[in-house]
Structure 1
Amino acid sequence: MTATPHSHTEAAIHAHDDNGSALGENATLHEPISADGTPEPGRTYTVPARCGRAVRVKTGQTIRVTNTHGTQVCDTWIFNAAHLNEFLSFEHTRAYIDKLIPQPGDPLVTNQRRPIAELIADTSPGVHDTLIAACDLHRYKNFGVTGYHDNCADNMRLALKAIGLRAREVPQPFNLWMNIPVKSDYSIEWLPPVSKAGDYVDIKAVMDCVVVFSACPQDIVPINALNPVEVEFKVLA
């Protein structure tokens, strides 16, 4: 039988020539919401602090992501469930919508410049980030951390692996509630979220998707108020 693009055989072949392998491990790998990421509609799932989760969302379904405490950044990726090499790309989305930050009613488009989802509701002030790469082990080493530090890039990789999938790269995430203002001199700041407890974002799938969330483990710059905590999500019934 011909191997699929995401088969274990191809994953093994490419394990050392792409960016798909985690550099460490945490509980994410062992706590998927289900064996293949299929959710129970209407059920609330928790993304524990410093960990990630992957969930399958079918065309037309809406997923709600809730900032439980109001202080937590949630890195969010959306992959085409049929071909993980197509994914939500903010290099392409910013050009498509002529905005740095999407607002309700805006499409979210892939690296093939076609909508994969739509932002349909946002109860927060709408301050999110689409510029900053997911934190990774290299980022924490640059901060002087020795040893392993939980990070969003590995959380994405581990969350996919937990449901039997693998992506060959870590795309630019949709950093929900991350507050990175661009100043008049084009420098940026790293500030705590301006969202409040219970604020949520609704994202409607335009194609069958795998959505991955990471409750960002960043505890060195104040984007999570220096205290990473959990977030919640559910696929609306």
Structure 2
Amino acid sequence: MSQVDITPDVLEYKPPLTEQSTEYVTISNGSDEAIAFKVKTTAPKFYCVRPNAAVVAAGETVQVQVIFLGLPESPAKDAKCRDKFLVITLPAPYDLGEKAVAEAWSDLETEFGKQAVSKKIKVKYGHVAALVEGITGKSETAEDNKKEQNSRDSQVANAEEDEEEEEPKTAVEERQPLAREQKSPKVVKEEKTSASTGNVPEDNKESKTVANAGSNIVPIALVVILALVIRWYFF
């Protein structure tokens, strides 16, 4: 019986744990005689084992389906499964006839109980590590994507601000020649203003002075002639 190998040590069921899933127990018989096995569990309501009991011929291997029926609701992330399986093997040196292994098991156990080989198999919920790692990975990926998007938005915003700053500079440069051109009409306006207020140019002033002098000579000449006539008349 030392040549009987039972694997694995742990059955790991992955999420979603509310759904049915299947794992396998392998029983290899390396001895030169047939063996019988039986599988027991601490939580029969949550598992279905096929076959639950059977014979393994010499040199053969049998895979046993251990079907997890699913939980009513998902367990907490830190939940630990305490379910266990016990696989017991006994020698089956003779033909059991029409009896099933389950029916003949008590007889085999009574006769070959001291040669029994058993192995305990634990059950583990895979979500404790897998889900936490998956959620953490997704969170980090989402955060990286968000940072990258924010960086792109910031670059676009900075580019738009630079364009807005360049546009006013160009507008100011275009307005400067216009401002220079608008200054020259002020001179003309000043000249017009000076003309309206009596500030006549120097040439106009000279002509007006000569005209004023000519107009003053006529009255003087009349006064002189009148004085000569009076003198001649009385003297």
Class of the TM-score when normalised by the shorter of the 2 chains: under 0.3
- Give the TM-score of the pair, scaled to structure 1: 0.24
Greater share of residues in helix: 2
Q: Tell me which structure has the larger Cα radius of gyration.
A: 2
